[in-house]
Amino acid sequence: MYGEYTGHDYFHVIRVLENARKIYISENTKKDLNWEVIELSCLLHDIADHKFFKGTEEESKQVLIKIMNKIKVQSDTVEKVMHIVNNMSFKGGKNEKIELSHEGKVVRDADRLDALGAVGIARAFATGSYLKRPIYNPENKIPKKFKNLEEVKKAYGIYEANTINHFYEKLLLLKDLMLTKTGKKLALKRHKYMEGFLKEFLQEVK
């Protein structure tokens, strides 16, 4: 994952792992969480992502299975990790209905936290640049606050994407999609920081 500059690099993985550790520590009161599953899922979650991996979906699954076999991960753990890694991504909201294991919820929240707050702002502009999108285009209307993705889609006619709008399309929706109590709490703090940033940004470009 070296040489990746949109915020999906090795250091993203380590941040996700640390977010997951925080959530795990405060959510594991019933001692039902399997740390090995969480740790492996965090470390592997972006390796076979369609954004970076150019092979087929089946080939991408094989890459992860090969890594886990090499380090002798038990087969039931491999299965649990694969279910998480294959179903945790945002994918335009498509995966929202797939029920994740408790470990999966921790990992998904941990990954989403890295899309929020100061780090989330930095990653959004890095990714926006990679996608050749302008930071902000005043001719594109700023979307109103949306309740869900359906509303986002309905509200847009023809429009050129810009990164400021990405906050309204996705990043500001994430706090309500967190699946763990701790994740929600951490997300709320980061959400407020992003709202402050957007307010200041729009004030400056007025």
Q: Note the residues at the interface with ligand ADP (CB under 6 A).
A: 7, 89-90, 111, 115, 120, 123-124, 127-128, 131, 163, 166, 171
CB of 51 to ligand ADP, least distance (A): 6
Residue 123 interacts with which of Ni ion, ligand ADP, none, CB < 5 to 8 Å by class: ligand ADP
Any residues with CB less than 8 A from the CB of 197 and at least 6 apart, and which?
121
The stretch near Ni ion (CB under 5 A) out of 33-41, 44-52, 53-61, 90-98 is: 44-52
Distance of CA 62 to the CA centre of its chain: 22
| Nearer of residues 37 and 194 to ligand ADP, judged by Cβ | 194
* Residue of 79, 84, 90, 103 lying closest to 45 (CA atoms): 84
CB of 74 to Ni ion, least distance (A): 25
CB of 29 to ligand ADP, least distance (A): 27
| Nearer of residues 89 and 140 to ligand ADP, judged by Cβ | 89
Q: Which two tokens stand for residue 193?
A: 């920081």
| Nearer of residues 35 and 130 to ligand ADP, judged by Cβ | 130
CB of 53 to ligand ADP, least distance (A): 12
The amino acid sitting at 28 is N
Residue 175 interacts with which of Ni ion, ligand ADP, none, CB < 5 to 8 Å by class: none
Q: Quick one: three-class SS letters along 7-71? A: CCCHHHHHHHHHHHHHHHHHHHHHCCCCHHHHHHHHHHCCCCCCCCCCCCHHHHHHHHHHHHHHC
Query: Can you tell me the distance from the alpha carbon of 72 to that of 81, in angstroms, rounded to the nearest whole number?
Result: 14
97-126 residues in contact with Ni ion (CB under 5 A) are 111
